[in-house]
Chains A and B, each alone.
Chain A
Amino acid sequence: MSSSDTVTYLFALCAARPPDEALSAVAGHSGGGPLRALRAGAVHLIVQDVPAADFDERTLADRLNRPGDLRRCALAHHRGVAAGAPCGPVVPLPMATVYLSDDNAVAAVAAREEAVLAVFRRLTGRTEWAVKVHAAPGEPAGSPAPPAAARAAPGGTGTGGTGDSGGSGAAGGRSYLSRASARQRSRRDLHETARAVARTVDLTLRRYAVDATAHRPQSERLTGRRAPQLLNAAYLVDDARHREFTAALERLRADERLREVEITSSGPWIPYSFARLDEPEAMAVATPEATAGVTAGAGVAGVPKTGAP
């Protein structure tokens, strides 16, 4: 259906065909047509015709490297993926998966049909929950005994011991150093404790999940927090156990013994983090696909030709 000035943007794969009305009601990428469904064997594709000019290699990279465009694109992508969710399992594709034609998209998916069906089976009736654990906020200042004591008693009954005279000159310097190192030690201890607590949180939540995965912890620059992120995990939870999972989360949050950390969560997510083709065969299938009847014989190698014949 794509003419030469549009390309086919693939959002997600579904086990059941989403109704046309539901798809066309969703706003996809700006400048594109309505969302629609294609079919590759037992797999349904949610796609949109988008302007080729906006989605060629260079332009796309430029756009995604611009924050405003990236945000719009990201939200449009998520809407397109979510459009399939009411009808059963959805397998999202990474943002900006684009084909020159519907046929290319269908061929690429058809070549992996079995693997995709396996992912559907794994995700059916399950959602993803994101859980982050941060060291408690204001940890250096608001932390319990040691640093507070060191601060409250300048040169007093210092835990560090040695130069606690609090006087002037060398003694003052020594006591400062010992206080500083005590502070550093206690901070290290706190971090250790917090890390252990994060592990406990993770292990506890895994009991209620069918699968779990750890994302790279987000940096402080990214979160805008001062406290380090100790855990950035995603859990795949059966719908039937979803309440147990959130209840466990609440218990952890309320647990007095876990005060060193702050636990935040979001969900339910479409299971982005668990949508992967595990089967090694999937990789093997990738090559023969070009022979499997890709129309223009273009292969999928990715020379961007905007003008299809």
Chain B
Amino acid sequence: MTDVSGWADPEDTTVYVPGPNNSTLADLLERILDKGVVIAGDIKIDLLDIELLTIRLRLFIASVDTAKRAGIDWWETDPAMSSRAARDALTEENEMLRERLAALESRLEGGSGSPSTPTTRSTPTESTPENRVR
């Protein structure tokens, strides 16, 4: 197939909608962080574990989506606020997610993988709006 429009769309962040052409950011990160022809650049970077990064990203997207649904997306739409504010919001969000993730991880290490799904999903939902609005 040579039609370009047919490339898998990594913008689709839905996690596993069954059917063809459903790629996720996890799939994309798996590829662009870990695969490809490695030709050393001039700048070396130290990344966290790819899986950890991806999990964080998944939580982040879930929380951003939630915030958007709640209409709290000023940092994206207001150009005056955007750059600086977005960074603050992200940093803040990131810290919050770090904490949540640490909590989740310790819970998971305590056994039974099953609670992971509901917890993971609901976490950003409940935390984001309050976090943003302050």
Interface residues of A (CB under 8 A from B): 7, 10, 13, 55-57, 60-61, 64-71, 74-75, 77-78, 81-82, 85-86, 91-100, 104, 108-109, 112, 116, 119, 127, 130, 215, 218-226, 239, 242, 246, 262, 264-270, 272-273, 275-277, 286, 298, 300, 302, 304
Asked if A93 contacts B1 (CB within 8 A), the reply is no
| Residue on A nearest B114 in the bound complex, by CB | A226
- Cβ–Cβ < 8 Å partners of B36 in chain A: 91-94, 272, 275-276
Q: Which of B89-129 contact A (CB under 8 A)?
A: 90-91, 93-94, 97, 104, 108, 113-114, 116-117, 120-121
- Cβ–Cβ < 8 Å partners of B70 in chain A: none
| Residue on B nearest A130 in the bound complex, by CB | B27
List 15 interface pairs A-B (beta carbons < 8 Å), by A numbering: A7-B42, A74-B28, A75-B10, A82-B7, A109-B39, A127-B1, A222-B54, A224-B15, A224-B117, A226-B114, A226-B117, A266-B22, A266-B23, A268-B8, A304-B42
- Cβ–Cβ < 8 Å partners of B64 in chain A: 68
Q: How far is the CB of B60 from chain A (nearest CB, A)?
A: 3
| Residue on A nearest B64 in the bound complex, by CB | A68
Q: Which range holds the interface residue count of chain B?
A: 35 or more
Distance in angstroms between the alpha carbons of A277 and B35 in the assembled complex: 11
Q: Which of B80-95 contact A (CB under 8 A)?
A: 86, 90-91, 93-94
Asked if A264 contacts B22 (CB within 8 A), the reply is yes
Asked if B60 contacts A65 (CB within 8 A), the reply is no
Q: How far is the CB of A247 from chain B (nearest CB, A)?
A: 11
Q: How far is the CB of A273 from chain B (nearest CB, A)?
A: 5
The listed residue (B40, B104, B117) touching A302 by CB distance below 8 A is B40
Asked if A224 contacts B31 (CB within 8 A), the reply is no
The listed residue (B7, B11, B41, B90) touching A69 by CB distance below 8 A is B90
Distance in angstroms between the alpha carbons of A280 and B124 in the assembled complex: 46
Assuming A65-B53, A267-B21, is B43 touching A94 (CB within 8 A)? no
Interface centre among B7, B20, B43, B51 (most CB of A within 10 A): B43
- Cβ–Cβ < 8 Å partners of B7 in chain A: 82, 85, 268-270
- Cβ–Cβ < 8 Å partners of A266 in chain B: 8, 20-24, 27
Q: How far is the CB of B59 from chain A (nearest CB, A)?
A: 7
Asked if A222 contacts B58 (CB within 8 A), the reply is yes
Distance in angstroms between the alpha carbons of A70 and B64 in the assembled complex: 14
- Cβ–Cβ < 8 Å partners of A94 in chain B: 32-36, 38
Interface centre among A7, A65, A100, A119 (most CB of B within 10 A): A65
- Cβ–Cβ < 8 Å partners of A269 in chain B: 7-8, 23, 27, 31
Smallest CB-CB A-B distances: 10 pairs = A67-B60, A272-B31, A266-B23, A92-B36, A97-B41, A95-B32, A68-B90, A302-B44, A98-B43, A67-B57
